[in-house]
Structure formats: C-alpha cells, structure tokens
Amino acid sequence: MPPSTRRKAAPPPLGEARQSQVLQLYGPGAMVDLPDYSLLIGGLDFWNNKGCDLIHEPRLLQLVRQATGMARVDLRTPPKEVDPLKNVSGSIKAFRFPEWSVAQKVSERVAFGIPCRARPLVHFNDGCIADWRTYQDDEGKYPVVPVRFVMACAHGHLSDIRWRDFCFRQFGCKNSERLYLLEAGTGNDFTQIYVQSEGGTTRKLADALVTEMSPLGLCQGQTPWLGRNARDPDKCKTDGEPTQNRLLVRSATNAYFTETLTVISLPEEANSLAKRVTELKDDLALIEAQADVAAALKFNPRLKSAFTGVDPELLWQSIEAQRGGITGQAAQPKDEELALLIGPMDGVS
Ligand SMILES: [Zn+2]
Ligand SMILES: [Zn+2]
C-alpha cells in the first residue's frame, strides 16, 4: 500500500443549512454527516462574511466579552445568500473528517476464533483511495464510508484514532500492512468489533474503553476544525497530568455541544444612535477622528441618511465607544431582563 503521491483535489461538497441549524448543529467543530461525506465544520476564520449582518445587542456583547476575555468583539449573524442571481453567497468551510474510512468490500476473517465480516480500514492518503469515495484494488472498486470511531479528550480536542498504533500497540507504528475492521454480530457491540492487520495482528475495539491501558494515547491537543494539522500550543493536561484520549462514536448525541450565550432582546429606544453606529460599523471604518465625520457623511449616502443632523462630537463618541468596547458598568443581563419583564420591585435589588 504505497502512499499516494497524487494530489487529490476533489471539488468541495455543497450543502445548505438554515441559520438556526448553524447555531444549534453546525457550529465550529461540529461533525456533520452528509449523504456522501462526513465533515467537520471549520472555525469562524473559515466562514466568509457575506450576508453577515452586524447585530446591535450591547448586553449580549458584554457577555461575550466576559466569556472570551476579548475587548473587541463583533456580533454577526451567520453568513447567508446575498444575491442568488450574481451567485454572491455566504459560506462555511468544512473539512473532511474523519480521514479514515471503511471500504465496502466484505470478506470473512477470524478474530480470536470468531468468524467476522471484515472490511478494509483505509486512510485517505493510502494509494488505494481515489477521491475519498472509492477504494480500488485488483478485484474492483468499492465505495467507502467514514469510520464511525474517532477520539477526543475532555477538553474538546478531536482527532482520528491512530489505527495502526492501536492495532499494533505501538506509538508511531510504521507497519504498513492492510488493516481491516472486523465485526461479529450486528456491529453495535464494542466487544464484537476488532481491528486486524493483513498478517493477523488483532485487537478488540473494546480495549479502547479501558483507560488504564492508555489505549488511544495521550491527547496531542488537536483542533482539526482550525485546519488539518492545527493543534493547541499548550500541552493538554488534566489535573496536572497529560490527558488521555477517549473513544468517541461520531454519531453519539454527546459528540457535540454548541456553546450558546442568550439574552432576551429588549426593546431599546428605537433606532438609537448606538444601534445605528454598530450596524454601519463597516461604513464608519474610515473615520479616524471627529474631524473626519463631516466628510464621511457627505460622501457616503448610507451614512448621510443615517446620521444627518447628529452632533459630530456625539457621533464620534459613539463610534469610539463601539470600537473600544467602552461599556462602563452595564447591569448584569439577567437582572435587566427581569426588571423589564416583571417591572420594578420595591425592596429587591
Ligand atoms: Zn486534549
Ligand atoms: Zn486541553
């Protein structure tokens, strides 16, 4: 199985998602199964910003600043289609993940005396994989499906299982025999799933669950949603010790959680200055001082219609506040929501 030297440049797969799906299911790092591919949604750096409207919601912004420790944060809606006729559309880039697949070429092999259905377990870089979708050998072509098992750590790092290392119980294993995934029974019972090399070296997948053996190795801090070889710069540790990788079934309901911050949107002074400044932030970007305000309004029709009649000093202050994240001490979001929804309560702070 010589590694392929060909460069595989399949066109990126296309899928569509509604904005609510993007928030709930397809956030950065989410694993997604499309009919022909299994994907990992890329981080925000891999999203384009077409159709991403700026959101003016100061209390939510404050929560995000607190949660991230970042002073400068923009809130935007997910990308969306802008102009279908001109083919201008928002997009979210995803990576193929996992990189290991199972070829749908069934043979019979025996593991520890038990006859099993065996299918080749192949990495996309193996010479026998044409385009992530087809496995080819002397006997023909067979479709591949992404392997169901990957590994992750409690800190959210994620990677493919190093199947050779696992099978041969050796870190950085250089053996290049064909690997097979073997299943006895229905394939849902871990104790009836095995990895086996062409030569017969066999290990049951259930070993991956016995953490005392460190069967999947130590977490390397991989963050594949930020790029294929991306990883955290700091060593992944738990209670001062290196973190163990754990087996993760891709389709498991606990495989991905979005981190969501929520505030109830409260009615604000309609069309307030701060709101308009946030929404027109990109148009206002060229203004570097109060002295620039007049010219910007004169030459940009959007700014002109939004800010004509506004005192330039006031506008400049508002722009600076928007840019610098100078929020002062705003009320805690939950308190403010309560105050507005139930009205003022005497004697309750
Ligand atoms: Zn980790
Ligand atoms: Zn970590």
- pLDDT tens-digit series, residues 137-147: 899 999 999 99
Give 282 Cα–ligand 2 centroid separation in angstroms. Answer: 36
Residue 7 is predicted with a pLDDT of 44
User: Using one digit for the tens of pLDDT, what is the confidence trace for 244-254?
Assistant: 999 998 877 66
Pairing of strands 134-137, 140-146: antiparallel
Give 275 Cα–ligand 1 centroid separation in angstroms. Answer: 40
Give 235 Cα–ligand 2 centroid separation in angstroms. Answer: 7
Which ligand minimizes its atom distance to the CA of 219?
1
Burial class (CB in 10 A: 0-12, 13-18, 19+), 254: exposed
Which ligand minimizes its atom distance to the CA of 151?
1
Give 218 Cα–ligand 2 centroid separation in angstroms. Answer: 11
Residue 11 is predicted with a pLDDT of 46
Q: What angle do CA 99, 102, 105 make, to 5 degrees?
A: 150
Give 252 Cα–ligand 2 centroid separation in angstroms. Answer: 21
Q: Over the Cα atoms of the chain, what is R_g?
A: 27
Alpha carbon distance 151, 208 (integer Å): 10
Burial class (CB in 10 A: 0-12, 13-18, 19+), 200: exposed
User: Using one digit for the tens of pLDDT, what is the confidence trace for 179-217?
Assistant: 999 999 876 788 899 999 999 999 999 999 988 888 999
Give 231 Cα–ligand 2 centroid separation in angstroms. Answer: 10
DSSP state of 128: T
Give 16 Cα–ligand 1 centroid separation in angstroms. Answer: 31
Give 87 Cα–ligand 1 centroid separation in angstroms. Answer: 40
Which ligand minimizes its atom distance to the CA of 157?
1
State the pLDDT confidence band at 66, using cuts at 50, 70 and 90. Answer: confident
Give 294 Cα–ligand 1 centroid separation in angstroms. Answer: 52
Which ligand minimizes its atom distance to the CA of 223?
1
